[in-house]
Amino acid sequence: MQYRRVEKTGWDVSILGFGCMRLVDADTARAAVHRAVARGVNYFDVAPCYCGSNSEAWLGEALKGLDRSKLIITAKSSPGNGGTELCDYDPKGGFGIRTADQARRQIERSMELLGVDHLDMYQLWAVHSDNVFQEGLKRGGFLEGVLKAHEEGLFDYIGMTTHAEADDIIHFVKDSPYEFDMVTLPFHAVNAGRTKAIDYLAQRGIGVAAMNPLAGGLLTRKVPLMNELAAQAGAKSMTEAALRFVAYTPGITTALNGITYAEHAEEGAEAVAAGPLPDEAVAVLTRRLAEIYESVNPQNLCTACGYCGECPQGILVPKVLAAFTDMRIPSTADAARADVTARLAAGEEGWDPAACDQCRQCEQKCPNKIPVVSLMEEAVQVWPKP
């Protein structure tokens, strides 16, 4: 495993990070964490709402027996609702922290679930809009509580996570009373924007964790097209190609990969150990992905983060959006239509975009500001009939 120094913290961070949002149970989480640590991973990112609000406890159990001094454990919460708006305080989800006292309670709650008496970093989470950012800075609010806990030694550093665009990220960093020590932002081969922000953060000595390096699983779909593209990029798989692309992009500290099973940790470690992709391979990868998604707006690609929650009409929103994406790509359209047709014929529920009643609950929570309602309307036009 290679490590990158974060100037502001002095940390040497593994170029593969462990995102804890895709764990499924305590046993497999423990196996995955231990395999990752054995392969040299030392950076862990967790949040209250991940995995049905179980991820903090599962990570805490997995940390038992490991040398805590060699690991970087980060926790987080948000003044917002996980999207671009504000909400009432939700301690289980980690959202709606509007006062300093709530921030302190949330920090202590995470530490208790994680089974630690000290965190390496606490983060202002899900700063996707100026609305959420300004709420966090209010007197007597989120950041005041975090700064007090920081002064008292509950954690060493303060970070921020965001899905905002480059100029907004720079604005958040410049205008915060505390210059963040690390920033977590989306970055992957399908949408490799935000380089302006990455360059700025690197100049300031601020670490950058790249979330969604596999585009929420978009780049790992087992279709011939993706296998062919991986081979063209000189990689064994698209997982390898995607992680190498992100991990070796200048300015990126760690590729924060959502890991479920021990084999995912192994695969990720093997991928980044292969080193950077050659320049010509990067060119092939980005050019071909642009061709594949030329009819799809990358900004509207669902990352399957799950922040949209359960649809009142029972629509499996991330899965329906993924299927609709595949139906618009010539090389995957037939397979996607056949898959959905089979699911409908089998009576599987949640696969009908026509059930959308335009309540926009999902849109209000989506950190990527995906126009779900309009995409559901478009999907209806090409959707297979049962």
Domain ends where: 277, 292, 307? Answer: 292
Give the mean pLDDT of 266-290: 94
194-230 confidence digits (pLDDT tens): 999 999 999 999 999 999 999 988 888 666 667 888 9
Quick one: 95 and 208 in the same domain? yes
More confident residue, 291 or 383: 383
User: Quick one: pLDDT band at residue 72, thresholds 50, 70, 90?
Assistant: very high
336 shares a domain with 244 = no
Residues 159-173 pLDDT 10s: 999 999 999 999 999
C-alpha–C-alpha distance, residues 124 and 121, integer Å: 10
Owning domain of residue 276: 3-292
Please say if the pLDDT value at position 293 is more than 80.
Answer: no
Give the domain CATH number at 51. Answer: 3.20.20.100
For residue 191, what pLDDT is reported?
86
Same structural domain, 311 and 239: no
Instruction: Provide the number of structural domains found in the chain.
Output: 2
Amino acid 224: pLDDT: 64
Query: Same structural domain for residues 80 and 222?
Result: yes
Give the integer Cα–Cα distance in Å for 282 and 288. Answer: 10
Candidates 334, 306, 345; CA nearest to 24 is 306
Torsion 138-141-144-147 (CA) sign: negative
**Tally of CA atoms within 13 A in the half-sphere of 128 that contains its CB:** 19
Q: What does the alpha-carbon distance between residue 176 and residue 234 come to, in Å, rounded to a whole number? A: 42
Q: Name beta bridge partners: 72.
A: 43
Residue 219 shares a structural domain with residue 332:
no
- Do 133 and 167 lie in one domain? The reply is yes
Residues 6 or more apart in contact with residue 119 via CB below 8 angstroms: 73, 74, 75, 107, 110, 111, 154, 155, 156
Shared domain for 236 and 323, answered yes or no, is no
- The per-residue pLDDT for range 347-357, each reduced to its tens digit, is 999 999 999 99
User: In this structure, are 250 and 146 located in the same domain?
Assistant: yes
pLDDT above 70 for 298: no
Same domain, 311 and 240: no
Claim to verify: residue 262 and residue 308 sit in the same structural domain: no
- Last residue of some domain: 292, 314, 340? 292
Please tell me the predicted confidence (pLDDT) of residue 167. Answer: 98
Give the rounded distance of the alpha carbon of 361 from its chain centre.
20
Is residue 241 domain-shared with residue 162, that is, in the same domain?
Answer: yes
Residues 105 and 186 in one domain: yes
Given a cut of 90, is residue 372 above it in pLDDT?
A: yes
Residue that is last in its domain, among 245, 274, 292: 292
- Residue 123 pairs with which residues in a beta bridge? 76, 159
